[in-house]
Amino acid sequence: MEIIENCKIKEKVYIEKLENGLTVMCIPKKGIQKKFIIWGTHYGSNDSKFIVPGESEVTEVPKGVAHFLEHKMFEQENGKNSLDVLTSLGVSANAYTTNDHTAYLYECTDKFYEALDEFMDYVQHPYFTDENVEKEKGIIGQEIRMYDDYPEWKVYLNALEAMYHSNPVKLDITGTIQTIANIDKDILYKCYNTFYNPANMCLVVCGDFDPSAIIEEIKKRLIENKSNGEIKRIYEEEEESIVKQRVEEKMDVSMPLFAIGIKEKNFDTKEKVKKHIAIEILLNLLIGESSNLYDKLYKKSIIFSMPSIDYEFTDNYGHILITGGSTDPDEVFKEIKNELKKFNENGIDREDFERIKKMIYGEYVKEYNDVTDIARMFLSDFMKGINSFDYLEEIKAVNIEYAKQILNDVFDINKMVLSVVKK
């Protein structure tokens, strides 16, 4: 068992890679009543074209299979739904699908091990039939139509479609009514057997646990399964340019919504943690609550609350998103461009930079207060090849000179798009 400790925040993560390839992590939190467990597979909505280990032919499946699988995993051959079983035990259970991973989870204060029996059983025993697959198409179809009517989702998705030519990140995680119509039980079993192999998965548990003891309990509940080797994922080559600078959609909203995207040019995964930190600092300097631009837009009644700022990335894409509501989204877009030009011409104020850097470090530390945040963070970072402690260490190396380099490399106004939803 590998033990990684961060002395600054006095936290440890215990990591064991089991014989079957499964990575298990335990972050113990002494004296905390709540317990949280999350089990993820490195399989998300982007993975629709791949070569199965041991095969030579490319397999291509319809968009939306990863999300469809997530829905179907709870239904068991005995007629029970595992989500209902877990709920009846008094635990809060759920699942979700992202672009790069799918995860199953629950949290509780009591009956953790009773819930663990059901949890580890259903994730390892899929049950698909022609009938239950067809039934699920109707359920997911309703979900797709619901999201189509959700303005916050549409403004986000439209921004991705404006940025990307072929990268699957531009597609809705759920797929479409047309693509899910082509999903059958054979496709689900093939994707399950390919991606739900232990070597492609990670299980993270956080709470008042003895690491060795909880890992032994997990081992007891694992079925015999061997690593199936490396999965070759195939993605189309993405053009460096954006598709279009502006997209607008009419929907019933009280105030216009905007999503400003900046597509990362020449995307690579070098120094991904360090780069992520620098982007967070720059975004806060640009449009954060203490920024000059936010103050200006707020006083002019163009925005009324701080926009959401984020940097999304996996192994094959990266982009910045600034989202919120505004009386004049085009003015926000113009002002952000102008502010970026000022940064490039006048440089970054060193005092502001250091202040924001300290604030972000404080936010990183606060993430270790809640077992849910900790476990989800470690799983999400693991899927990107990152240990979450890296953020606490790498922030020291992010200086103003490095931030200027990232400003030039990533914040390219020629790669900016504006998505608007308004009446």
What's 7's DSSP letter? T
180/221 same-domain check: yes
Helices (H) and strands (E) counted in the chain, each on its own, are 15, 15
125/273 same-domain check: no
51/168 same-domain check: yes
212/315 same-domain check: no
Provide the pLDDT for residue 307: 96
175/267 same-domain check: no
Q: How many domains does the chain have?
A: 2
Provide the pLDDT for residue 352: 96
417/282 same-domain check: yes
> Considering the chain, what is the average pLDDT of its residues?
95
221/255 same-domain check: no
Spatial CA neighbour of 11 closest among 24, 27, 25? 27
162/222 same-domain check: yes
Provide the pLDDT for residue 227: 86
Does any domain span residue 241?
no
CA distance 343 to 257: 26
**Residue 248 catalytic?**
no
260/228 same-domain check: no
The residue from 233, 254, 287 where one domain ends is 233
Does any domain span residue 239?
no
The residue from 209, 233, 257 where one domain ends is 233
Q: What is the pTM of this model?
A: 0.93
Does any domain span residue 299?
yes
Does any domain span residue 28?
yes
Does any domain span residue 155?
yes
181/261 same-domain check: no
Question: Which domain does 27 fall in, by range?
Answer: 2-233
Residue 266's φ and ψ, nearest 5 degrees, are 50, 50
251/227 same-domain check: no
Query: Parallel, antiparallel, or unpaired for β 2-6 and 11-17?
Result: antiparallel
Provide the pLDDT for residue 316: 87
pLDDT tens per residue across all 423 residues of the chain: 899 999 989 999 999 999 999 999 999 999 999 999 999 999 999 999 999 999 999 999 999 999 999 999 999 999 999 999 999 999 999 999 999 999 999 999 999 999 999 999 999 999 999 999 999 999 999 999 988 889 999 999 999 999 999 999 999 999 999 999 999 999 999 999 999 999 999 999 999 999 999 999 999 999 998 888 899 999 988 999 999 999 999 999 999 999 999 999 766 667 899 999 999 999 999 999 999 999 999 999 999 999 999 999 998 899 999 999 999 999 999 999 999 999 999 999 999 999 999 999 999 999 999 999 999 999 999 999 999 999 999 999 999 999 999 999 999 999 999 999 999
Does any domain span residue 240?
no
Domain of 21, CATH number, reads: 3.30.830.10
Does any domain span residue 238?
no
* Catalytic residue chosen out of the listed positions 2, 16, 70, 248: 70
Does any domain span residue 275?
yes
291/395 same-domain check: yes
The residue from 201, 233, 265 where one domain ends is 233
